[in-house]
Every structure is written in C-alpha cells, then in structure tokens.
Structure 1
C-alpha cells in the first residue's frame, strides 16, 4: 500500500489517500505535482483505494507539498521519507 500525502496551506495536519499499486501511486503523485507546477488554481479531486467512498477535493492554490511513501503491512507501520530516530 502506498500513501500520497498532501500538505495544505494553513493546516497543521496533512491529508492523504492510498493506492494499492506503486504505478498507480506514482501516477497520482505526478498528477498532483503537475497541478502544483502549473500554478493556476483549479479543483483537484482524489479518491482512496483503501477506504471505499473516501473522496478528497482540494484547490491546487492551497497545496504546499506532496509526498509519496510505502505503508508496510508486515511491520504494521509506515516507511516514511526522511530520517528516523528509531533503531
């Protein structure tokens, strides 16, 4: 399972959707990144593959960042980008 996480302007908590396949997650990441690069406000609608019926609509002018990471089922946790203080 892959998580696509969006950081929003004036919001301390990110919003996220999940994809089952890496190719699908990468395509969504590129779609959001492309919307950020265009710089013109438009509505972007996303849906989650894990939680059926979960839909998210966000105005691209309120997006600050997007990241993708793998959620590992074996360890029960997530493999997030960046550094970890855990051993």
Structure 2
C-alpha cells in the first residue's frame, strides 16, 4: 500500500490517501505537481479517492497545497519515525 500525503497552507495536519499500486499514486502525484504549477488565477480543484477507505473522498484547491509526498506504507508497526523530513536539534 502506498500513501500520498498533502500538506496544506495554514493547516497543521496533513491529508493522506492510500493506493494499492505505485503507478496510481505516481500518476496522482504528477497531476498534483502540474496543478501546483498553474497560475493562481486558474487554480484547479484536486479530487482524491482512497483505496483503503472506500468512502473517503477529498477535494482541495491546488493553490492551497504546499507539499506532496509519496511513501510506502509498511505493515511493520513500532517506534519508526514518520516519513518526511525532520529537523534534529540537539
């Protein structure tokens, strides 16, 4: 299972969906990247559907997306860090 996670402007919590196939999540990732590059005047609405939770539908304006990432959802639970970037300050 692959997860696609969006970070939104002015929102501390990300939005995520899961897809079974990497090709599906990669295609959506590319569509979102292209939408993010559009001029602000022609901002698109991005609709997402989750494979894991069948009734989960998300619609968000592309201009509100500030980052998008893909990661493989492993079945191993534990003390692993969450995917993404982290800042280690000692």
Decide: shared fold, TM above 0.5.
yes
Which has more radius of gyration? 2
Give 1:62's match in structure 2, choosing from 54, 61, 64: 64
Shift of 1:82: 4.2
TM-score (norm 2): 0.82
* Alignment gaps of 5+ in structure 2: none
Shift of 1:61: 1.0
Whose strand fraction is larger, Structure 1's or Structure 2's?
Answer: 1
The aligned counterpart of 1:47 is 49
Judging changes above 3 Å, is the alpha-carbon distance between structure 1 residues 37 and 48 closer, same or farther for their aligned structure 2 residues?
A: same
Query: For the Cα contact (< 8 Å) 1:70–1:80, is it kept in 2?
Result: no
Query: For the Cα contact (< 8 Å) 1:2–1:19, is it kept in 2?
Result: yes
RMSD between superposed Cα atoms in Å: 2.1
Q: 1 CA distance for matches of 2:85 and 2:64?
A: 24
Q: 2 CA distance for matches of 1:81 and 1:63?
A: 16
SS in 2 for 1:38: coil
TM-score (norm 1): 0.84
The aligned counterpart of 1:76 is 77
* Alignment gaps of 5+ in structure 1: none
